[in-house]
């Protein structure tokens, strides 16, 4: 099992940037996929993006049109989500999660362990 802790959330004005980090502890972090999800009040959880265990990353859904990137550092056991050009509709709680597979997925049900989340608020 992997224990995950998100950090880097906060309050930012529209057009600003935030870098979220997901730190893992526990079993080996290498070669397992990690995803970033978000959930706004009253809305379903959606996948922002995910990165394979081999480092190939994909940004999904509405976030795919945005300047968001995902990267991982297996030595540090971290996966970062860099979000630029933030908009008020990006306001949500952001979660990272791991899937015990080399390959990532955009489906929340494919992920086994989750962090507690970090709040991102973007003002207009």
Residue-level pLDDT at 27 = 77
Residue-level pLDDT at 113 = 95
Which of 30, 27, 8 minimizes the C-alpha distance to 18?
A: 8
- Residues 65, 68: Cα–Cα separation, whole Å: 8
Residues 113, 2: contact at Cβ < 8 Å? Answer: yes
- Residues 80, 109: Cα–Cα separation, whole Å: 21
Residue-level pLDDT at 82 = 96
**Mean per-residue pLDDT pooled into runs of 10, the chain (124 residues):** 95 97 86 94 94 88 83 93 95 97 94 97 96
């Amino acid at each position: 099992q992997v224990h995950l802790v998100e950090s880097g959330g906060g309050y930012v004005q529209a057009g600003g940037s935030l870098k979220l980090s997901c730190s893992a502890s526990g079993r080996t972090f290498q070669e397992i996929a990690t995803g970033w999800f978000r959930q706004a009040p009253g809305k379903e959880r959606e996948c922002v993006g995910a990165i394979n265990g081999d480092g190939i990353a994909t940004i999904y859904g509405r976030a795919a049109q945005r300047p968001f990137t995902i990267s991982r550092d297996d030595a540090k056991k971290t996966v970062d989500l860099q979000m630029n050009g933030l908009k008020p509709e990006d306001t949500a709680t952001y979660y990272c999660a791991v899937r015990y597979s080399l390959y990532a997925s955009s489906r929340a049900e494919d992920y086994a362990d989750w962090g507690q989340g970090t709040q991102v608020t973007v003002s207009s």
